[in-house]
Amino acid sequence: MKVLFVTDLHGTTWKYERLLRIAQALRVEAVISGGDMLPKSGDLFDQDKFIVHYLDQHLAQFEAAGIYYLCYLGNDDLRIFSDLFDETCDRYAHVVNLAQRSFKIGDYEFVGMNWVADYPFRLKDWCRMDTPDYVFQEQLGSGLLSTRQGWRELDDWFAYARTLPTLEDELARLVRPADMERAIYVIHMPPYRLGLDKCADGLEVGSKAVYDFLLENQPLLALHGHIHEAPEISGRWYATLGRTICIQPGQLTPLTYVTIDLEPMNFDRHLIFQATRPLGSETRVDDNDDVGLGGCRLRKRGCPKSPVRENCAPEPVLSLPKESVRGEGGQLPSLPRRPLVVKLRQSPS
């Protein structure tokens, strides 16, 4: 069985469009989208519009093609849209919201989890303490949770987070697959210590809870995302943890995905650039198309087989707009309903 894993598309429509054509050309049985599916530029409270006016159609195309699509929201996708996302997925027999759920395709069982370990950024909808003894990073401002009425600002995020389950708890709560040797976990948050979590500034921000869980349970595969630049920074997009293979494709300028052939357990990472030919000039994908870039293999910056010379360089790390971090005199500014802070452009995201 062949599946395609992609993550952190953040509403980039050309990537979504290519994804469909590639999945069809490669005849994959399933596409797995590992979270952070909605746009994060602009007003996050408009993400519902993307679900209704874009994602719904995108999913319908996979349904029509008979390709499974297992997906979930990520930490930059507002949690208030979870129900809408769920309802949208439910419209299609082949589309599954995998958040905290499992789904079987053939002999394989996929289990999803999209909570993340806390980070310095303000949007806390999907954040958890990693473990009970988790040490918080210095924060870029007060915590924010999305609500139907706008942002709820948390006076003391650390105290609030301590009342929530930890990532370790969330992992323990997941459905237990019948056979770990045929289980594929889709966990947005990467484990620590494997190079799959390295930010542009060199900081390694992965999860101990995820690492321990995988080491203890030893599923066949674990698919991760979240730190877009990690593979380019660490030079690693996969790692082994005991018998488990962990994959983190990353996601920078090019469409980046990994194809996985489950029977021989073959993996290929692909980087597809938007401008390999004039936009709109393609009507089909065949073996000679850039799908065939397959073999953009490990530890390469850019693809030696690619017709383009551009390298997959890490995007610059942008800092938050100052006013969204701290107001005059170290006080928080009075937050507008939809503050600038939500334009989180830097990693982790």
Select 36 or 118, whichever has its Cβ closest to Zn ion.
36
- Residues 285 and 271: their CA atoms lie apart, in Å, by 15
Q: Closer to Zn ion by CB, 55 or 285: give it.
A: 55
Least distance between Zn ion and beta carbon 349 (Å)? 5
Spacing of C-alpha 16 from chain mean position: 14
At position 42, the amino acid (one-letter code) is: G
73 burial type by CB count under 10 A (0-12 exposed, 13-18 middle, 19+ buried) = buried
Question: DSSP assignment of 251-306, as one string?
Answer: -SSSEEEEEEETTTTEEEEEEE-TTSS-TT------TTSGGGG----TT-SS-TT-
Nearer to Zn ion, 94 or 226 (CB): 226
Q: Scanning residues 109 to 138, which ones bind Zn ion (CB under 5 A)?
A: none
- In the complex, the smallest distance separating the C-beta of residue 40 from Zn ion, rounded to whole angstroms, is 9
* Least separation in angstroms between CB 188 and Zn ion: 6
If you search the block for the tokens 């995998």, which residue do you land on? 98
Nearer to Zn ion, 35 or 219 (CB): 35
Least Å distance, CB 16 to Zn ion, is 17
Query: In terms of DSSP bridges, do strands 183-187 and 108-113 run parallel, antiparallel, or are they unpaired?
Result: parallel
Question: Scanning residues 193 to 232, which ones bind Zn ion (CB under 5 A)?
Answer: 226
Residue whose structure tokens are 């948050």? 189
Q: Closer to Zn ion by CB, 12 or 61: give it.
A: 12
The closest residue (CB) to Zn ion is 226
Which residues between 21 and 80 bind Zn ion (CB under 5 A)? 36, 74-75
Q: At its nearest, how many Å lie between Zn ion and the CB of residue 114?
A: 9
Smallest separation, CB 35 to Zn ion (Å): 6
Residues β-bridged to residue 207: 191
* DSSP 8-state class, residue 81: G
Token pair in block for residue 4: 């395609």
Nearer to Zn ion, 18 or 226 (CB): 226
The residues binding Zn ion (CB under 5 A) are 36, 74-75, 226
